[in-house]
Amino acid sequence: MTRRRWIADEVRGNTAALVGEHAAHLVRVLRAEIGQEFDVATGEAVRLGTITSISDERVEFALGGSREVKATPKITLALAIFKFDRMEWAIEKCTEIGVARIVPVITRRSDVHLATAAVKRHERWQRIARQAAEQSRRAAPPEIAGPVKLKDLAGVLPDWATRVVLAESPIESEGARLGEVLQSHSTDVALAVGPEGGWADDELAWFREAGWIAASLGGTILRAETAAIVATALALEALR
């Protein structure tokens, strides 16, 4: 039987712990008991964890042998801010697929109210990503960056990442598909997915001037959350 995986909040030597609401879920919902074994992700490895101590808001593990963690392509998803329930669904599913980092982006077509409220959603988005990472048995959750304006996006991306913007009408390509675009590129990729309605003309011009590669997901128009999920899956497959 496959053991459930937890991402540790604290790690010290051969011990680890879940704390706060994270621990409370294991204690109250899953009825944890001393001696139970789980996989525990420590940030550097995934190790066998045996529960040694339980309280309402803290569960401690003794750490044993480690499991091999396979390296995966590093995909950064620059995701335009749109309706929160759909956006959070995209964060959850892209985490399950294997995205390494998500950067919420304030765009011209992002609702003003949502853009303002996004800062307060950051902690919730981190929690969603951690839960999805544990459910999908990842070794670590993706980093969820704080919201940034499009003009500041370049400053939060690694210099060496291949940068691809998804557009219904590719800027400098004639229908170039994402998978084809990534065939000859490195495993560090930043994907920019726009809001409902797509990127504004001046935003597309910004991407062009900043040297981003344009690509499409095909001839159909996808909702923003669908585009994010499909793009992440295609990129990971192309880069493996």
Asked whether residue 121 falls in the same domain as residue 214, the answer is yes
The count of domains in the chain is 2
Asked whether residue 2 carries a pLDDT value surpassing 80, the answer given is no
Check residue 25 and give its pLDDT. Answer: 86
Asked whether residue 27 falls in the same domain as residue 83, the answer is no
Asked whether residue 149 falls in the same domain as residue 228, the answer is yes
Domain termination site, one of 16, 46, 67: 67
Asked whether residue 53 falls in the same domain as residue 120, the answer is no
Phi/psi of residue 37, each to 5°?
-115, 140
Asked whether residue 168 falls in the same domain as residue 107, the answer is yes
Single-letter amino acid, residue 168: E
Asked whether residue 144 falls in the same domain as residue 215, the answer is yes
Single-letter amino acid, residue 202: D
Q: What is the pLDDT of residues 64-91, one digit of tens each?
A: 988 877 778 899 999 999 999 999 999 9
Strand 5-7 with 37-41, pairing = parallel
Q: What is the pLDDT of residues 95-150, one digit of tens each?
A: 999 999 999 999 999 999 999 999 999 999 999 999 999 999 898 899 999 999 99
> Could you give the CA distance from residue 76 to residue 121 in angstroms, rounded to a whole number?
19
> Could you give the CA distance from residue 51 to residue 96 in angstroms, rounded to a whole number?
26
Check residue 210 and give its pLDDT. Answer: 92
Asked whether residue 169 falls in the same domain as residue 223, the answer is yes
Domain termination site, one of 14, 41, 67: 67
Asked whether residue 53 falls in the same domain as residue 91, the answer is no
* Cβ proximity of 37 and 49 under 8 Å: yes
Q: What share of the chain in percent tops pLDDT 70?
A: 95
Asked whether residue 114 falls in the same domain as residue 188, the answer is yes
Asked whether residue 53 falls in the same domain as residue 155, the answer is no
Which residues form the domain of 138? 74-239
Check residue 174 and give its pLDDT. Answer: 47
Q: Please, what sign has the CA dihedral across residues 228, 75, 44, 136?
A: positive
Q: What is the overall mean pLDDT for the chain?
A: 90
Asked whether residue 44 falls in the same domain as residue 132, the answer is no
Q: If you write DSSP's letter for every residue of 147-178 in order, what string do you get? A: PEEGGGGGGGS-TTSEEEEE-SS-SSSSS-BH
> Could you give the CA distance from residue 48 to residue 38 in angstroms, rounded to a whole number?
6
